[in-house]
Amino acid sequence: MAPLNIAIIGSGLSGLSLALALHQQNIPCTIYESRPASLNIGGAVMLSPNALKILDALGIYERVRDKGYNFETLEYKNGSGELLEVYEFGSKEKYGYEALRIYRTVLIDELLAMLKEKDISIVFGKKFTKVVAETENDVTWEFQDGSTQTADILVGADGIHSTVRCYLYPDLVPAFTGMAGVTAAVPTKQLKIPTGYHIPVTIMTPNGGFVIAPQEVDGSEVLIGKQKRMGEGFDRAGWDRYMADKDAFVEFLQEGASNFPEMVQNAVSHIPHNKINVWPFYAVPKLEKWASEKRRVIILGDAAHAIPPSAGQGINQAFEDVYMFALLLGQADKVEMQDTLSFWQDYRQKRITKVMWLNRQTDLRRMPKEAQTSGEIIEEIELSWLYLPNFKDDVESWVNGKLEKRD
């Protein structure tokens, strides 16, 4: 069988990592990105062992490990510094990897450099608009400039507001959850954190939580942030206008600071406008299928599942999609595409469903009152299912099972 030819729409973290994962399986691909360069929405992301194991297998981890802040636990404390809970985001000893907090742009730049070294092509300024034809063998689509392209498989890695997804779900529009994350970055020394006080930390008060998370290799900068409850969302232009009013966000971060320990007041005392980041949370309902009827169009990453931020798994789960998908395509000459895709989606959806549970558990801890009124139970969180998956073995044993059945 000739190798498959894959087109990837979107050069976010999903699209870039997918290209590298496919390359490792000797599957050729091209990335098409609507913007003139990879989108950098700013800020840092937290990577946990499940994702780091994947980045390690793709040769990325060793190149980025020392370019971010390595840590193991997040603490939850109350206003007077009493420890409420310790959440493991990584552990070298238990899960093989410490957690890594790294600027998105650092990660993107490293991925782009690797693409270049491996001669994987990425075309900027090409905006996907619609699929024009799908057959049993290939798919043809159109770009905004009117040109068309054909490939064996088209992968939508084009984010939460995915256009590729419209082909599978013409009527689906992500819904605004009414919540947004408002964060800023300030120098760590500005906080005057008491000696011995562990960061990252989420400080809980009856008025909500305040996050402090170190970034930069040496932890010399911290992200600070709160969640903002707001009514309606906006359209794109509306969000742009809303986000332009930086003073309003500074005010929001400063609001109620006196209910928090002194370091929070220090943290919000001086916030540079260009270090403010606002992340409105959108939700996509659980999708029945991540592939078209004829299986030539596939979605993954945020396009397939928008994961609320509570447990910090958004991008980590996208890496899982990508890696599993590439491993399975590497076996495409042995098993039917239809079986491959249903195994992939089932496997991935099961983990996403558990991550949704983890998110809810995290939220309940942050909103103890809501837990009491909703009658939901705060369960023990055990994380080895999340941090110790073995994608390679799972793919291998599934493929072997298929082959045995056929013989």
Ligand X SMILES: *[C@@H]1O[C@H](CO)[C@@H](O)[C@H](O)[C@H]1NC(C)=O
Ligand Y SMILES: Cc1cc2nc3c(=O)[nH]c(=O)nc-3n(C[C@H](O)[C@H](O)[C@H](O)COP(=O)(O)OP(=O)(O)OC[C@H]3O[C@@H](n4cnc5c(N)ncnc54)[C@H](O)[C@@H]3O)c2cc1C
Residue numbers of the site for ligand Y (CB under 6 A)?
9-15, 32-35, 38-39, 41, 43, 45-46, 127-128, 157-159, 163, 277, 279, 301-302, 312-316, 318
Q: Are strands 208-215 and 201-205 parallel, antiparallel or unpaired?
A: antiparallel
Q: Taking Cα atoms as reference points, which of 215, 220, 210, 199 lies closest to residue 253? A: 210
Taking CB under 6 A as the criterion, the residue among 40, 78, 384, 400 binding ligand X is 78
Taking CB under 6 A as the criterion, the residue among 1, 62, 80, 218 binding ligand X is 80
Across the beta sheet with 297-299, the strand order is 121-124, 29-33, 6-9, 153-156, 297-299
Alpha helix ranges (H) inside 157-305: 165-168, 236-244, 246-254, 262-269
CB of residue 143 vs ligand Y: minimum separation in angstroms?
8
CB of residue 264 vs ligand X: minimum separation in angstroms?
12
Residue 247: count of CB within 10 angstroms of its CB = 10
Q: Taking Cα atoms as reference points, which of 41, 43, 46, 49 lies closest to residue 12? A: 41
Closest CB to ligand Y among residues 43, 330: 43
CB of residue 139 vs ligand Y: minimum separation in angstroms?
15
Taking CB under 6 A as the criterion, the residue among 79, 178, 187, 256 binding ligand X is 79
DSSP codes of every residue in 350-366:
HHHHHHHHHHHHHHHHH
CB of residue 368 vs ligand X: minimum separation in angstroms?
11
Q: Residue 82: name its binding partner from ligand Y, ligand X, none (Cβ under 5 to 8 Å by kind).
A: ligand X
Q: Are strands 276-283 and 148-151 parallel, antiparallel or unpaired?
A: unpaired
Considering only the stretches 75-83, 90-98, 116-124, 208-216, report the one whose residues sit in contact with ligand X under the rule CB under 6 A.
75-83
Binding mask 81-110 for ligand X (x = CB under 6 A): -x----------------------------
Q: Are strands 153-156 and 6-9 parallel, antiparallel or unpaired?
A: parallel
Residue nearest to ligand X (CB): 79
Closest CB to ligand X among residues 26, 80: 80
**Residue 256 touches ligand X, criterion: CB under 6 A:** no
Q: What angle do CA 354, 360, 363 make, to 5 degrees?
A: 145
Closest CB to ligand X among residues 78, 220: 78
How many whole angstroms separate alpha carbon 195 and alpha carbon 198?
Answer: 9
Between the alpha carbon of residue 328 and those of residues 33, 96, 168, 182, 244, the distances in Å are: 25, 24, 22, 38, 44
Q: Residue 11: name its binding partner from ligand Y, ligand X, none (Cβ under 5 to 8 Å by kind).
A: ligand Y
CB of residue 72 vs ligand X: minimum separation in angstroms?
24
> Is there a contact between 174 and 282 (Cβ–Cβ < 8 Å)?
yes
Q: Residue 215: name its binding partner from ligand Y, ligand X, none (Cβ under 5 to 8 Å by kind).
A: none
Closest CB to ligand Y among residues 20, 45: 45
Q: Taking Cα atoms as reference points, which of 369, 370, 354, 372 lies closest to residue 313? A: 354
Catalog residues that contact ligand X under the rule CB under 6 A. 78-80, 82
